[in-house]
Amino acid sequence: MESALVLVIGVMVAAGVYLMLASNLLCYLFGLILLSNAANLVIFVAGRLTRAVPPLIPKGQEAPLEPVANALPQAMILTAIVIGFGLLAFTLALVVACYRELGTIDSDHMRLAEPPPKRGEH
């Protein structure tokens, strides 16, 4: 099961990187989504895949009765998802603002901050 998931991660990373290399910012965003989910899956696999119950101790017990799932990777993934969600939302807002202000989402045409040198200058 782990190896299957690892293959999935590999494909996601490959597709994500391919998309991120495009000069279109929307493609970049989609690549980013794929890549961040691949990263989440890496943590998920790192916590080992087991068939077990949620790590909750039943009422009146001191310790769980049967083997429980590792809760830590899930907590980390949830945190990573929340953060990734925030960053992605922010980036999306930025791309939208860029499109409104600059009229393009092609990064090759964005030369405002670093204008190409004019002929005969220094």
Residue 93's nearest CA partner among 11, 47, 85 is 85
Q: Min. distance of Cβ 25 from other proteins in angstroms?
A: 7
21 makes contact with other proteins (CB under 8 A): no
Applying CB under 8 A, among 55, 67, 102, 106 the residue interacting with other proteins is 102
| Closer residue to other proteins in complex, CB, 15/95 | 95
Over the range 57-92, which residues count as b (16 or more CB within 10 Å of their CB) and which as e? eeeeeeeeeeeebeeebeeebeebeeebeeeeeeee
Q: Min. distance of Cβ 45 from other proteins in angstroms?
A: 7
22 makes contact with other proteins (CB under 8 A): no
Q: Distance between CA atoms of 4 and 103, rounded to whole angstroms?
A: 43
E strands, 3-97, where? none
Q: Which of residues 66-95 bind other proteins (CB under 8 A)?
A: 72-73, 76, 78-80, 82-83, 86-87, 89-95
Q: Distance between CA atoms of 18 and 6, rounded to whole angstroms?
A: 18
39 makes contact with other proteins (CB under 8 A): yes
Assigned token pair, 119: 């002929």
Give me the residues that bind other proteins (CB under 8 A), please: 20, 25, 28, 32, 35-36, 38-40, 42-48, 56, 72-73, 76, 78-80, 82-83, 86-87, 89-98, 101-102, 107, 110-114, 122
